[in-house]
Structure 1
């Protein structure tokens, strides 16, 4: 039947390969990040312990496998299972079987990671968490090598890219004036949460180039997404623009897997002929016997049901997109499907960094030898070149960026200072450098600094990439006994 054959998209096998393997690879990174950081941040003895959080937890509101029992060992088993399943999907092993095999594999990743996110509290309150969950659920229905790629699912993946890009564009237009007067990039490269190795060079580019950057961003996010649904090769060209702009963001900053997942998802609009034309080494016909492939009736029914579900759930994000009170990074259902996205509606004009110091001295006065704790990703040492961490997510470093925008007097931050006073080994592993080599300090204190990138002349003279100015003492010296030091 013609209407049945319409559901098949035989010219999008390359897109399916990229989507399935790419999303699985990002799940691998997410589970690895959780395995390395979750116990110290949220474990039984973490900064915000999950067992305590679960005491007032509603399973109906946030589904999780940890609802009835949490332990650090169980968390490790969940992460290990996620790593194993995602590795198999990257290798393409489940895709060799019937379509329900990769379906179950991706749904397992979705459920396992959702269990982590839903108890992750502020350390998992990022838009790319729900984006990864939605992407994993959607690509689960792309089938296997035994079936043709389903057209409706590819369209829904393109719809996800549209919401991601157009939502981000609209939140900017409706947000700070700097996006409308084209000055946002005067500040963003310098004040973004976690600069990368090229961020300073990007910041030092001429201001006219920064204005062109903003114009290019508006075009890529407000115009291009509509062409993802156009006939080929226009849709592939639109996808190429999305990929190019996201690669620039990858090069100029560290946004965990946000940019990488946008790149992977954009391939949903790239057809095999276009991919072969750009990269001739790619096969034009992935399955020479493709004519013998067919979608079993049960699989057609499953993909149609999934399509209808995601279309119905699209009502809420569409209403949000056209609303003057547009929400940013919000989910409208407890399964975190068909969400609304957006970032940086306003741009911070100055970079304020929270610096934590400790001392072994008996008295915490200015004559004490105060030593600074070094973080892996956030700026600290003014001479150090920022590293490229994305798509890996340094959760503690990201939360440190939010502190001056909110308040340093957050529960998790005081718990963090307490762990430093104990020289807690798992907490210290989250840092780049412990200045006391595992010995507990007698006091810790917190200072607030203004950071800015050094000009080229300043860097040549001093070798320092940052120029910082002390603003004030955010938290006076604290001791393990909870006492505060006197200012002298």
Structure 2
């Protein structure tokens, strides 16, 4: 059925499959390096306890049949290996059925992790990767022509991602409508990057232009994705440039990068004229594959009812999945913007009893602000899950109620896996006797302050987040 073939999108498909493979690789590596402390058998929120409380039908995962840290590591490692093989082009050279099976395995393995990941995997880009991963199953191999229906579904995902984000902002915080949100957002975003302070200090008229440009990109441009070329390509190009701006200004895991990857699928081969790629010659598209593509299209059309209804609702939800398979979701973030940055600073002491001479030593995290003289680092697309949850904790204690006391207990035990998530352990030889947490307001230094002190931040105490506790005070849950 050649009428379903999408001539002229060979390079776009290649970049999408390689790009998604790269993001899968980062996601599996992040899971492998962080799971023991976060959700391992002896982690802060252990998987075994979760699967005992939540049945398979509510959260499908391979780990409902069996869990061990060794098995989790095997799953994450297998996913990383498959992603790497796909990234270097091995998967696309396989027979069509085998190629589809590899992409299906990537989706199943990562779904199994996300569905037992609890708060650590509650971010919108987890569902976004899984939804894009399903579509990738049907992108075909090197011998199969790209299917226009699948590329159209990729555009529909990109539309929902951008338009949903635009709507949640326009309906949310008033500062999005009066164009002032970026007076604050570069400073208060979850995890600033190395250039975020420079973006924050741009003139305020430029911040207003930034917000207006964001509204145009997210509320107007997405409709161009469904127009004929070159309009569709221009729309995707605008989105890609906007996302690169966000990559420079912050750390949003792989949210920006996966949006860029999806946008690349919209650009026709003519756009990539500077890339020397042999002309592809495809054979007839297998009829079972065409049937599968049509079935996928019908399924997406039916499942789109819920995200469309959500986008049209005045009570629009952000980053919601309407089914346990994380397929055909709704997206959107930062409907409200915090005006001040509040950071939880965790400290320990070797003294069992406080005295005027008690020394409190600060735990340093890898990504979130702590030491005011330390410049923020670039980590995206890698996702520092604990650092992100500490940002939520600074907004409200309620966000941390289920895990923060357990995290503190791990620090009181000098738990090796937990300490690997941190940049610095101030108690390398012996566990601390007590831990406390204090709340600070952080702001960027002005240009004059930075020249005088070399500091990137100024911080002021807001009081206690958690009073000092010892191992006997924090009970295992």
> Which residue, out of 247, 252, 259, partners 2:249?
252
Residue from 348, 360, 367 that aligns with 1:377: 367
Larger displacement relative to structure 2 (170-179 or 297-306)? 297-306
List alignment gaps of at least 5 residues for structure 1. Answer: none
- TM alignment of 1:6-405, pairs within 5 A: 6-276=3-273, 280-283=274-277, 286-287=279-280, 290=281, 292-405=282-395
Partner of 1:450: 441
Deviation at 1:83, TM superposition (A): 0.6
How far the C-alpha of 1:436 sits from its partner, in A, is 1.4
Q: Following the alignment from structure 2 to structure 1, what is the Cα–Cα distance between the partners of residues 343 and 2?
A: 57
Q: Indicate if the aligned counterparts of 2:350 and 2:432 stay in contact, CA closer than 8 A.
A: yes
CA distance in 1, matches of 2:299, 2:283: 26
Q: Deviation string for 1:36-71 (max 9, x for gaps)? A: 001111111000111111111121111100012211
2: CA distance between counterparts of 1:61 and 1:76? Answer: 23
SS at structure 1 position matched to 2:468: strand
Compute the RMSD of aligned alpha carbons: 1.3
Q: Deviations over 1:92-112 (max 9, x none)?
A: 112112222221111111111
The 5 Å alignment of 1:394-473 reads: 394-407=384-397, 410-473=401-464
Residues in 1 aligned to 2:474 and 2:85: alpha-carbon distance in whole angstroms: 52
Tell me, in whole angstroms, the C-alpha distance in 2 between the residues paired with 1:362 and 1:350: 34
Q: 1:233 to 1:362 in 2, by over 3 A?
A: same
Give CA deviations for 1:216-256 in whole Å, capped at 9, x if unaligned. Answer: 00001001111111111111111111100000100000000
Unaligned runs of 5+ in 2: none
2:160, 2:347 → 1: CA distance?
43
Q: Quick one: distance in 2 between partners of 1:137 and 1:362? A: 54
Q: How far has the Cα of 1:300 moved from its partner? A: 1.1
Give the stretch that moved more between structures: 252-261 or 314-323. 314-323
CA distance in 2, matches of 1:410, 1:438: 29
Residue deviations 1:435-486 (CA, integer Å, cap 9, x gap)? 11242001110000000000000101111110000110111111112189xx
Q: Segments of 4+ in structure 1 off by > 4 A? A: none
Cα deviations across residues 65-124 of structure 1 (Å, max 9, x unaligned)? Answer: 001221100100100110111111111112112222221111111111010100111010
**Structure 2 residue aligned with 1:480:** 471
Answer yes or no: is the 8 Å Cα contact 1:423–1:438 preserved in 2.
no
CA distance in 1, matches of 2:141, 2:253: 29
Distance 1:390 1:475, change over 3 A: same
Residues in 2 aligned to 1:25 and 1:214: alpha-carbon distance in whole angstroms: 30
In 1, Cα distance between the equivalents of 2:304 and 2:279? Answer: 33
CA distance in 1, matches of 2:264, 2:296: 20
CA distance in 1, matches of 2:425, 2:353: 21
Q: Distance in 1 between matches of 2:110 and 2:25?
A: 10
Aligned length: 474
Quote the Cα distance in structure 1 between the aligned partners of 2:206 and 2:323. 41
Contact 2:411 2:418 in 1 (8 A): yes
